[in-house]
Structure 1
Amino acid sequence: MGGRRKSEKERLSRLEAACLASNKDAGNDDFSKIVTELQSKLEDTKAEQLSELQKVSVDIQKLSLENAKLQYRITHLVRALKERDCNLEA
């Protein structure tokens, strides 16, 4: 009877190992799907970030140009005020 129990125990061990291996493979498939989804989301986020960076770059260029124009106007307005003050003093 001891031999029968041993063989039964070995058979149960093999079945348990096979079941665990099967579950592990299913877990690996789930893990692979999650990794693939995360990689896809990461690529989408990178693309969105690049798009936003390009928009910000264009905005910065526009603002820099506007700033230069305003500084030019300020310089000429200050010069005109100084000339007017000089003319009033004379």
Structure 2
Amino acid sequence: MAASENRTDLNKLLEQFRQRASEAQDRLSRLEAAIGKEKDSHEEEYCKKVSKLESELECVKSELAAEHKKAEELAVENAKLKYRVTHLIQAVKEADLKQEGKGT
């Protein structure tokens, strides 16, 4: 009879252990599901942020290319103006020399 009592007690303990293990597995499953949803949400936010940054980068690249083009155009214009200024200065000097020659 003592052996059957020990088995009954052991079976009760095992049943309680199985029940707690089952409850723990259920909680673990719920936690894993919640973490999975949160992870998916974070990945989605990350992807959106990366897409937004890539889009902004493309816009900035376009603006930079436009600014480079403007800078090149201004450099060409500047060179033309310097050429004109040089010739105008030369013309003024020649005119001054002619004026001096006529004045004396």
TM-score category of the 2 structures, normalised to the smaller one:
0.7 to 0.9
**Could you tell me which residue of structure 1 aligns to residue 91 of structure 2?**
76
Letter aligned with residue 38 of structure 1: L
The answer to whether 1:67 aligns with 2:75 is no
- Alignment match of 1:13 (pick from 3, 21, 28): 28
In structure 2, C-alpha distance between the alignment counterparts of 1:64 and 1:8, rounded to whole Å: 83
Report the CA distance between 1:17 and its aligned residue.
0.9
- Alignment match of 2:62 (pick from 47, 65, 70): 47
In structure 1, C-alpha distance between the alignment counterparts of 2:20 and 2:98, rounded to whole Å: 113
In structure 2, C-alpha distance between the alignment counterparts of 1:18 and 1:58, rounded to whole Å: 60
**Could you tell me which residue of structure 1 aligns to residue 11 of structure 2?**
none
In structure 2, C-alpha distance between the alignment counterparts of 1:67 and 1:7, rounded to whole Å: 88
Runs of 4+ residues deviating >6 angstroms: none
User: If the length of structure 1 is used for normalisation, what is the TM-score?
Assistant: 0.81
Runs of 5+ consecutive residues of structure 1 not aligned to the other structure: none
* Matched positions, count: 89
- Alignment match of 1:4 (pick from 19, 25, 37): 19
Bigger radius of gyration: 2
Runs of 5+ consecutive residues of structure 2 not aligned to the other structure: 1-15
The answer to whether 1:56 aligns with 2:71 is yes
Report the CA distance between 1:11 and its aligned residue.
1.4
User: If the length of structure 2 is used for normalisation, what is the TM-score?
Assistant: 0.72
**Could you tell me which residue of structure 2 aligns to residue 23 of structure 1?**
38
The alignment yields a C-alpha RMSD, in angstroms, of 2.0
